[in-house]
Amino acid sequence: RLKEKYDLVHISTGDVFRALDPKSELAVLAKSYADKGNLVPDNVTIQILEGEVSKHPNALGVIYDGFPRTTGQAEALDKFLSSKETAVTTMISLVVPEDELKTRLIARAEVSGRADDANPEIIQNRINTYKNSTAPVAEFYKAQDKLIEIDGVGSIEEMASALSDRIGELSIEIAGSLASL
Ligand code: AMP
């Protein structure tokens, strides 16, 4: 919904990993981490991400979904974008209690067929990995005054509307700062 409304490119690193040719070395490597709920190593993930971004040289903007998940990835993204004379506008963190996350993943397992959704131990590992490796990314963007937190509990319609409002405000701010150059 957001990409349609604001004409953005959507890049989910998880989707990119799952769409690789399953027989390829890279797919087998990524799956060996993803199926256990561990992060794919930074060097591999950053390379994949940069390749995806480079496919859209004329994008108005990009929604990075599930990336960056470590401060190393965030630093690499800053460097990559600054080489293209652009930068991250904002990080939007959807805040959801752990119990609700677990309930959602167990329900999603019914339709996703993902090994990492179906198993409570793997779900717990994903949550722990988030706390240890990904939560610091919010601090990284907070220090740059770029962190927005949104209550992530609600229907898809409510989330789409809350996110759309924030992206709309950001677009106005960006247009305003360009106009004042
Ligand atoms: P997701 O679809 O975002 O839930 O990601 C599924 C799995 O793909 C994760 O548990 C990781 O194994 C891998 N993955 C996706 N994005 C990243 C990332 N930015 N860094 C490292 N691993 C990732």
pLDDT, tens digit (0-9, with 9 covering 90-100), for 136-147: 999 999 999 999
Give residue 92's pLDDT: 96
Give me the mean pLDDT over the 4-30 stretch: 96
CB contact at 8 A, 100 and 153: yes
Q: Is the pLDDT of residue 179 over 90?
A: no
Give residue 68's pLDDT: 98
Measured from the CA of 66, which atom of ligand 1 is nearest? 3
Q: What angle do CA 45, 88, 81 make, to 5 degrees?
A: 60
Unique residue bearing structure tokens 């769409």:
19
Of 29, 39, 101, best ligand 1 pocket probe by most atoms within 8 Å of the beta carbon: 39
Ligand 1 contacts (CB < 6 A) are 13-14, 17, 33-34, 37-40, 45, 66-67, 69, 73, 116, 126
Task: Report the sign of the C-alpha dihedral through residues 107, 151, 62, 164, in that order.
Answer: positive
Rounded Cα distance between 179 and 6, Å, is 19
Give distance in angstroms: CA of 2 to centre of ligand 1. Answer: 21
Give me the mean pLDDT over the 4-29 stretch: 96
Unique residue bearing structure tokens 């971004």:
53
Give residue 175's pLDDT: 75
Measured from the CA of 38, which atom of ligand 1 is nearest? 12
Q: Where are the beta strands (DSSP E) in 40-180?
A: 62-65, 91-95, 147-151
Give distance in angstroms: CA of 91 to centre of ligand 1. Answer: 17
Give me the mean pLDDT over the 111-132 stretch: 95
User: What is residue 40's DSSP assignment?
Assistant: P
Measured from the CA of 126, which atom of ligand 1 is nearest? 10
Give me the mean pLDDT over the 81-102 stretch: 96
Q: Is the pLDDT of residue 172 over 90?
A: no
Give the residue among 123, 168, 132, 177 at the shortest CA–CA distance from 148: 168
Q: Is the pLDDT of residue 181 over 70?
A: no
Q: At what angle do helices 42-54 and 25-34 cross, to 10 degrees?
A: 120
Give me the mean pLDDT over the 91-113 stretch: 95
pLDDT category of residue 107 using cuts at 50, 70 and 90: very high
Is 0.85 surpassed by the pTM of this model? yes
